[in-house]
Amino acid sequence: MRRVDPRPLLGEPLPLDLLNTHWIERGELQDLLETVDGVAIWLASSSIPAAERPAAGEELRLRLCETREAIQAVAEHPASVDARSAFNAILARGHRRRRLAEAPQPGAGGRSLSTVVAEPGWEVPWTIADTYLDLLDRSADRIRRCQHPECVLWYLDTSKSGNRRWCSMSICGNRAKAARHYRRQAD
């Protein structure tokens, strides 16, 4: 029986989705990657194609946690030399191999792209770090942490105005509205 992903925010780009394996519930920090079962739940709900998902295991759990910490450090402190070093250490574990396909089809691009890592089991964590670089290239100014003081979730602001403040209007946005309402009532 497959368990349902318990996180309050799903569907963000893969690096932010990995960051969101930490969340606050009833005032307590939750960590989906605390167990191998949690890793399996995350893999099943992630945007990683089923054919490319590795089996959940303790080594993968540790590698995902390391990658999550490195991305979070860079997201929170982009000027930090230590944060960049930890992130770059993950990127140093692999690279993309681009090749011209054997028999390129007109209009099909004619190339193949594969991930090459020095140690087996780093494919997914490395790909997540590499994808974070792509996200920074395309939308660095739209990567945001929820502004609710009791939330630790990250999101990509895809709003037209670029003024989104909450991970979810139905969760943190409503909590903020309710808090403002109660403060006005008390005054």
pLDDT for res 177: 61
In a domain, 155, yes or no: yes
Beta-bridge mates of residue 11: none
Distance CA 18, CA 21 (A): 5
pLDDT for res 108: 58
Amino acid at 20: N
Count of domains forming the chain? 1
- CATH number of the domain to which 94 belongs: 1.10.3300.10
In a domain, 67, yes or no: yes
In a domain, 2, yes or no: no
In a domain, 104, yes or no: no
Distance CA 136, CA 132 (A): 6
In a domain, 5, yes or no: no
Going by pLDDT thresholds of 50, 70 and 90, the confidence category of residue 25 is very high
In a domain, 21, yes or no: yes
The pTM of the full predicted model, rounded to 2 decimals, is: 0.87
pLDDT for res 105: 61
Contact 32, 6 (CB under 8 A): yes
What DSSP character marks residue 170?
I
Q: The domain containing residue 85 runs over which residues? A: 14-98+111-186
Distance CA 132, CA 154 (A): 13
The per-residue pLDDT for range 128-169, each reduced to its tens digit, is 999 999 999 999 999 999 999 889 999 999 999 999 998 987
Token pair 């994808």 is at which residue?
131
In a domain, 3, yes or no: no
In a domain, 4, yes or no: no
